[in-house]
Chains A and B, each alone.
Chain A
Amino acid sequence: MNSQPVSVQTEGLTRRFGKFTAVDRVSITVNQGEIFGFLGANGAGKTTMIRMLCGLLKPSEGKGSVAGFDVYRQSEEIKKHIGYMSQKFSLYDDLTITENIEFYGGIYGLSREAIRHRREQLLEQTGLQDASRKMTRDLPLGFKQRLALGCALLHDPPVIFLDEPTSGVDPEARRSFWDLIYQTADNGKTVFVTTHFMDEAEYCHRVSIMRAGQLIALDTPGNLKKQYQQRSMQEVFVALVEAG
C-alpha cells in the first residue's frame, strides 16, 4: 500500500464550535486504493472530520488536502473530486431509477452524453436494466444500496466517503456491499467508511478511532488487536472508548 500515492492527508486538523473542540489536531495520511475505517463513539467528531474532508466545513486550524486539493482554498474542487453516500439519505424514493441517475449526473455537471453512457454502464453493473423505469422506493434495499454507491461514483471521483452505508441492511446484503467496496478500492478509489458494525471494521485496510475529538488509534485491525491485546475489533473499540 505504501507505494501508492497519497490521497488524503491532514496535519493537526482542528475544528472548534465556539468553546467546543469537535476535532482536535488530527493527522492522517491515507493512500490511494485504501479502505480506511473511521470509528468512534457518537459525538467523537467523525462527522465533523468528514465534513471538513468533503469541503463542507472550513477547519479552524491545521492542514488538509483531499485528492490534491486544499481544504481551505479549494473546497469547490474537492466537492467535484469526491463521492458521498450514506444509508439514510442518498436516492430520491419518488424518482425512477433512471431519473435518480440523471439527477446525480446533472448535479455533478456531467455532459448529456456522459450521463447517458454512465447510466447504461451503471444499469448493467447493478443488473437493473429491466427495472430502469421503476420507482426507486420499490427496489429492495440491497439494490438501492448498490445504486446509491453507483450514483456517488458517477463522476468517477478518486475518493469516496461512505457514511454508515450498511445500517439497517440485512446481513446478506451487508456482505455483498462489502464485496463491492473491495472492488471499488481495487479500481484505485480511496474509500473512507464509517460504521458501527465492528465486524466491518475488520474488513478495512486500516482503522482509525476517535475519542472526544482526538485520534486515539490508527493502524491495521491486526496490529490494533495485537497492541491492545484484544481478540476482536469490537473488544479493541470497547477498551479504547471506555478508557476515555
Chain B
Amino acid sequence: MNAIEITNFHKSFGPVTAVDNASLTVKPGELFGLIGPDGAGKTTLMRAICTLLLPDSGQILVNGMDTTRDVGKIRASIGYMPQRFSLYQDLSVAQNLRFFADLFQVPPEERTRRLEQLYQFSRLEPFRNRLAGDLSGGMKQKLALSCALIHTPDLLVLDEPTYGVDPVSRKEFWDILRTIQQEGTTILVSTAYMDEADQCERVALFFRGRIAGLDTPDGLRRDYPHPLYRLEGSDLRALRRFFQDIPTVHSIQLFGDALHVSFAQPPQPGDWRGWQDAVGSSLSHWEAHPPTIEDIFLDLIRSAS
C-alpha cells in the first residue's frame, strides 16, 4: 500500500485553478519533494493530503484511507508543519519544544535524544531561555521546524520548512530529515529552493498548478534533452549577450559565477575556438556539465510560456 496516493486531484478557488489534475504516489518510507515557486499549488495539495481541504474532483488516499472520509484517523497518523506555523511567542524556546513534546506524548529517553539533535541543527541551544517572540525571523522558522520534528509520526508533511533558513542550517536540516526517514517515517516536503530537490529520493516539479516533472532527480537529469555547458569568464553579462545571438544555442542562464548554455545541436570543438576568438577573455573556461534541477525547471518555465 502506498503512503500517499493522489489520483486526478483538482482544486480551484473562484476563478483561480490552484492544482490542475495532479496524480502522484508516495511510497512508504520515501522522502518525497514537491518542488516549485510560491503559488505553484504545493500548499493546496499538502492541505488536501492533511484533510484540511476538500478536492473539487479526484481522490487522495493516505495509507489507504480516503481524505474526505477517514479524517480523524488520517490526522492521528500525520505530523504537519504548515507554512505559517504558530509558535507560542510568550513561551521560551525550551518551553515551546517541551510543549510540543508533551502534546505528542514523546517518551522521555526519545525526547532527550531528539532534543540534542534538534539543538545541534538549529543552533538554538544558547537561546533556549529566550522568548520565541524575541527570536529573529529565521530562528523562529528553525524553532517551528524543531517543534514539528520532536515527535515521529508515520507521515510527516512539511510545507516549505526551509523558507528563509540560511544555507548552513538548511544542510543540517536535511541531515536530520534523513535520520527521521531512516527510523521509518514517510516524509513529504515542499520547497522553492531548486537545489533541495537533490536531497529528495523522488520529486514532483510544480509549476502553475501542474506537475511538470515527476521522477528521481537523476531521472529528470537523464531526460534533459540538450547538451549543456558551464562557462566561466571575466564578464558573464557580456558573454550572455554574445551567446544569445548564436543560432544553435537553446538557452543561456546565469548561475552565480558561471553561465549555463544549452544547445539545440551539439557544438563542435571548432565552434568553441571561434567563439573564444570572438569574445577574448570574457570566456576563459568551458566544460560539459550535467543539468541541475534549476536548469530543468527553467526549461519547463520556458516551454510553458
Please list the residues of chain A having a beta carbon within 8 angstroms of any beta carbon in chain B. Answer: 17, 40-43, 47, 140-141, 164, 167-173, 175, 178, 182, 196-203, 221-222, 225, 232-234, 237-238, 241-242
Contact = CB atoms under 8 A, between A and B. Distances in A.
Interface in B130-150: 134-139, 141-142
A170 B301 CA distance: 9
B57 to A, nearest CB: 24
A42 B137 CA distance: 8
Contacts of A222: 257
B169 A141 contact: no
Contacts, number: 96
B192 A232 contact: no
Contacts of A241: 166-168
B37 A168 contact: yes
B301 A202 contact: no
Contacts of B298: 171-172
A202 B168 contact: no
Contacts of A141: 37-39
Given A43-B138, A178-B254, A203-B254, A168 B192 contact: yes
A119 to B, nearest CB: 26
A47 B301 CA distance: 33
B262 to A, nearest CB: 14
Contacts of A170: 36-37, 40, 192, 207, 297, 301
Interface of B: 36-40, 123, 127, 134-139, 141-142, 160, 163-171, 192-194, 207, 237, 253-257, 294, 297-298, 301-302
A234 B292 CA distance: 15
A182 B241 CA distance: 15
Contacts of B137: 42, 47
Given A141-B38, A168-B192, A242 B256 contact: no
B169 A42 contact: yes
9 contacts: A40-B166, A42-B139, A164-B164, A168-B160, A168-B163, A169-B38, A171-B194, A171-B294, A233-B257
Contacts of A225: 257
A169 B298 CA distance: 12
Given A42-B165, A175-B253, A232-B256, 15 more contacts: A41-B166, A41-B169, A42-B136, A141-B37, A170-B37, A170-B192, A170-B207, A170-B297, A171-B298, A196-B164, A197-B193, A199-B256, A203-B256, A241-B166, A241-B168
